[in-house]
A and B are shown apart, each in its own frame.
Chain A
Amino acid sequence: MKLVELVVASGKGGVGKSTISGSLAALLARKGFKLVAADSDAEEPNLHIVLGIDRWDRIEEYYEGRIAYILQDKCTKCNICAEVCPFGAVEVTDGNYRINEYVCEGCVTCSLACPAKAIRYRFGIVAGHIMFAERTKYGFPLVSGESVPGRPNSGKLVTEVKNRAKAILGSEGVLLLDAAAGIGCQVISSLTGAQFALLVIEPTKASLSDLKRIHKLTKHFMMAPMLVINKYDINPEMIDKIEEYAKEENIPIAGKIPFDESVPNSINMGKLVVEAFPDSPASRELKRIADFIAEEVLSNWRAWYSKYRPKKHEPYIPVIIRPQRG
């Protein structure tokens, strides 16, 4: 079937991406799909919690970025670096110039400005970790990433997590990604190269608004979207609006999960709801969604993809400030 990438995304946080990702991964693996799950939310990774992993088989350090330092024997104490540093990272103690490594962002302004060429960089800053569980109790591997507080919101870390997951998967199978909330660098990195987006929405105005933003981004990347409405029965008025949007935009609705106390209860037990309460209303709907993905989407994914991907490229172009030409 070749390598198929399915990204679970939502725009808004807290709508159930990880819970749904975990259950769908387990259900698809149970159906016999060769699957690797990847947590591509490096700021708040928690797919491993949903999957009941309390110990990683392997943890790799992830390096990124640079921090400036001043060669004391070359420094002429001209104070230019302190004047130009946008972060105020240059400190003077006893007449000596030093760079506070906790404040430095590695932006190279100081080294460009330094007339004495006294500024060097230290690379290989630990900016995060990539974690591996070779086999979750549901049978498939999980790759996850976490960033170190204060280090950049890193699309590259997500790219590395994806590349590791793809290396485990090989040339065919399903890569299921649990994306971060929002439409930022990490989310873009999750979407790049993927064919399918499973968009999770809850029936609130905020969730619909954020969904439209992430959907616009999936159109940019020519992805075929599908929609899951979580806790659909808590706010019936919003359902019409959501369905209207889905119809206008040709987004198939993969399922509607009812509000069900067995979901939070299962999370507290450290189990997936489909494992802890397999006959609960939410689990039954999750199984229907997994059937839909397996039978309708993945069984002939090329046909499904060409049917539901945007017919023409709709680029999501940010406003750019054009430099003055002079």
Chain B
Amino acid sequence: MSTTRIAIPTEKGGLDDLVYDRLGRAPTFTVVEVDLETGEIKSVEVVKNPGAEAGSGAGAKVAQAIADAKASVYVGPSPGPNAYAALQYLGVKVFTVVGVKVKDAIKDVIKELKS
């Protein structure tokens, strides 16, 4: 059964953390692997964001890190122009959401992806 990996910017990371309000310099991002058919969460991984330490160019760094983590979907605040362009180029689908918990964002995006 194929699964989909979803990347979400977070502070500490994990399903109960809030979606962070910025992408480029979020301290971490949480990669959640889900089975789109059943909605089941297969794995949760917290990755340190290399963009968090970047003086400039944070957007490109985080986009690369999201691709390196093999995520094909991004959920979070509107990425900045550079991050947006890089995610598009890398073929990562972008969904914007703010102010909710990671697990709720995942539920919403599963619905979106299935429809």
The listed residue (A152, A192, A322) touching B22 by CB distance below 8 A is A192
Q: B3 on the interface (CB 8 Å rule)?
A: no
Given the contacts A192-B77, A220-B81, A320 and B21 also touching, CB distance less than 8 Å: no
Q: Is the CB of B25 within 8 A of A318?
A: no
Q: Could you say which residues of chain A place their CB within 8 Å of the CB of B56?
A: 152-156, 185
Q: Could you say which residues of chain B place their CB within 8 Å of the CB of A233?
A: none
Q: Is the CB of B58 within 8 A of A155?
A: yes
Question: What's the Cα separation between A156 and B52 when bound, in Å?
Answer: 8
Question: What's the Cα separation between A156 and B49 when bound, in Å?
Answer: 13
Question: What's the Cα separation between A322 and B25 when bound, in Å?
Answer: 24
Given the contacts A154-B55, A156-B55, A322-B89, A317 and B84 also touching, CB distance less than 8 Å: yes
Q: Mark A41-59, 1 if CB is under 8 A from B, else 0.
A: 0000000000000000000
Question: What's the Cα separation between A159 and B81 when bound, in Å?
Answer: 16
Question: What's the Cα separation between A320 and B23 when bound, in Å?
Answer: 19
The interface size bin for chain A is 20 to 34
Q: A65 on the interface (CB 8 Å rule)?
A: yes
Q: Could you say which residues of chain A place their CB within 8 Å of the CB of B85?
A: 317-318, 320
Q: How many A-B residue pairs have CB under 8 A?
A: 65
Q: Is the CB of B82 within 8 A of A193?
A: no
Query: Would you list which residues of chain B between 27 and 66 have a CB under 8 Å from chain A?
Result: 53-56, 58
> Smallest distance from the beta carbon of A52 to chain B beta carbons, Å?
31
Q: Mark B57-88, 1 if CB is under 8 A from A, else 0.
A: 01000000000000000000110111011101
Q: Could you say which residues of chain B place their CB within 8 Å of the CB of A313?
A: 78, 96
Q: Could you say which residues of chain B place their CB within 8 Å of the CB of A220?
A: 78, 80-81, 84
Q: Could you say which residues of chain B place their CB within 8 Å of the CB of A318?
A: 81-82, 85
* Chain B residue, CB-CB nearest to A221: B78
Q: A291 on the interface (CB 8 Å rule)?
A: no
Q: B24 on the interface (CB 8 Å rule)?
A: yes
Q: Is the CB of A317 within 8 A of B78?
A: no
* Chain A residue, CB-CB nearest to B51: A156
Q: Could you say which residues of chain B place their CB within 8 Å of the CB of A221?
A: 78, 80
Q: Is the CB of A64 within 8 A of B21?
A: no
Q: Is the CB of B77 within 8 A of A320?
A: no
Q: A170 on the interface (CB 8 Å rule)?
A: no
Q: Could you say which residues of chain A place their CB within 8 Å of the CB of B84?
A: 220, 315-317
* Chain A residue, CB-CB nearest to B80: A188
Q: Mark A294-322, 1 if CB is under 8 A from B, else 0.
A: 00000000000000000001011110101
Q: Is the CB of B55 within 8 A of A193?
A: no
Q: Could you say which residues of chain B place their CB within 8 Å of the CB of A151?
A: 55
Given the contacts A317-B85, A320-B86, A156 and B54 also touching, CB distance less than 8 Å: yes
Q: A157 on the interface (CB 8 Å rule)?
A: yes
Known contacts A220-B81, A318-B85; 17 additional CB pairs below 8 A are A127-B55, A154-B55, A155-B25, A156-B53, A156-B55, A188-B80, A192-B21, A193-B21, A220-B78, A313-B78, A313-B96, A315-B78, A315-B84, A316-B81, A316-B84, A317-B88, A318-B82
Q: Which 3 A-B pairs have the closest CB atoms?
A: A193-B21, A192-B22, A154-B55
A selection of 19 A-B contacts at a CB cut-off of 8 Å is A65-B55, A127-B55, A151-B55, A152-B55, A155-B24, A156-B54, A156-B55, A192-B21, A192-B24, A192-B80, A193-B22, A221-B78, A222-B78, A313-B78, A313-B96, A315-B78, A315-B84, A317-B81, A318-B82
